[in-house]
């Protein structure tokens, strides 16, 4: 009888400790798997937000860059009219046309502000979730690789966003500068040097960089998925 009581006194606390340890590791595992799920959700959210920012933006700029030949023609006509006496009326009409084109572009670019803000917020959330994954426990298979890959994905998404923002800022800056010069030209204050609003080489370079970054991000996410399985 006494021996049974001793067994109970030893066994019950042991089982309680074992249960507590099991519960602790179960909770840790659940926390890790939830963190992975949150990261996946935030990645998909970021991908959608970046796409929402880039698709209309690139479509707008595609139309814009295809119209550069027309801009060059208009600017050359304006410059030519400045060398001709009595051509101020014709020059004002051409200047107004060029300003109207640039003003339309600025208006369309301003409509991407909301999607730009959404993309920025989504990426901040993604980076925060990537930081959490850097602290995964060893209960998760490939814990270190998952954390490193998550960080890489977040960094690449941020670079994609920065690329798009830079693309947008260049066009905004150059278009505003062109409008200022055109306005001065209309008032007869400008020189004969009228620049094209933006160089197609700059846009092409940034566009290619964005596509390369986007492909790298997708490849990193495929690796992440393979590590989770």
C-alpha count within 13 angstroms, C-beta hemisphere, residue 147? 13
CATH number of domain containing 51: 1.20.120
Distance between CA atoms of residues 182 and 78, nearest Å: 9
* Long-range contacts of the stretch 172-175 (C-beta < 8 A, 24+): 172/106, 172/109, 174/198, 175/102, 175/105, 175/106
Q: Which residue has the tokens 């830079």?
A: 166
Residue 18 falls within a domain, yes or no? no
Instruction: Give me the domain span that covers residue 141.
Output: 35-228
Distance between CA atoms of residues 64 and 62, nearest Å: 5
Residue 4 falls within a domain, yes or no? no
Number of folded domains in the chain? 1
pLDDT of residue 218: 95
Distance between CA atoms of residues 37 and 42, nearest Å: 9
pLDDT of residue 205: 76
Residue 55 falls within a domain, yes or no? yes
Residue 22 falls within a domain, yes or no? no
CA-wise closest residue to 197 among 65, 59, 58:
65
Residue 21 falls within a domain, yes or no? no
CA-wise closest residue to 40 among 209, 229, 221, 226:
221
pLDDT of residue 44: 96
Residue 12 falls within a domain, yes or no? no
Distance between CA atoms of residues 177 and 11, nearest Å: 82
Q: What is the pLDDT along the chain (229 residues), one digit of tens a residue?
A: 555 656 556 566 655 666 556 555 567 778 888 889 999 999 999 999 999 998 776 666 655 555 555 556 666 666 666 666 555 666 677 777 777 877 887 888 888 899 999 999 999 999 999 999 988 887 788 888 999 999 999 999 999 999 989 888 887 887 777 777 777 766 655 554 555 444 555 667 777 888 899 999 999 999 999 999 7
Q: Which residue has the tokens 């409008």?
A: 179
pLDDT of residue 2: 53
pLDDT of residue 131: 94
Residue 19 falls within a domain, yes or no? no
Q: Please, what's the b/e burial string for 32-59 (b: 16 or more CB within 10 A of its CB; e: otherwise)?
A: beebbebbbebbebbbebbebbbeebbe
Q: Which residue has the tokens 């030949």?
A: 69
Residue 47 falls within a domain, yes or no? yes
Residues 6+ apart with CB under 8 A from 131: 151
Record the pTM: 0.76
Q: Which residue has the tokens 């996410």?
A: 221
Q: How many residues does the chain have?
A: 229
pLDDT of residue 197: 46
């Amino acid at each position: 009888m006494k021996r049974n009581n001793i067994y109970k006194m030893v066994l019950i606390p042991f089982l309680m400790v074992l249960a507590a340890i099991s519960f602790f590791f179960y909770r840790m595992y659940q926390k890790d798997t939830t963190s992975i799920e949150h990261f996946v959700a935030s990645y998909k959210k970021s991908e959608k937000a970046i796409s929402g920012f880039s698709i209309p933006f690139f479509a707008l700029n595609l139309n814009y860059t295809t119209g550069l030949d027309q801009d060059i023609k208009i600017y050359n006509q304006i410059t030519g009219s400045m060398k001709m006496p009595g051509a101020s009326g014709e020059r004002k009409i051409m200047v107004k046309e060029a300003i109207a084109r640039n003003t339309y572009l600025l208006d369309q670019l301003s409509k991407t502000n909301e999607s730009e803000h959404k993309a920025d917020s989504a990426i901040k959330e993604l980076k925060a979730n990537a930081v959490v994954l850097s602290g995964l426990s060893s209960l998760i298979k490939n814990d270190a690789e998952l954390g490193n890959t998550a960080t890489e994905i977040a960094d690449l998404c941020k670079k994609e966003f920065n690329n798009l923002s830079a693309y947008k800022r260049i066009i905004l800056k150059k278009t505003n500068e062109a409008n200022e010069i055109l306005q001065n030209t209309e008032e007869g204050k400008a020189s004969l040097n009228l620049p094209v609003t933006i160089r197609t080489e700059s846009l092409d370079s940034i566009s290619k960089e964005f596509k390369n970054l986007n492909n790298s991000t997708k490849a990193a996410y495929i690796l992440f998925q393979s590590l989770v399985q």
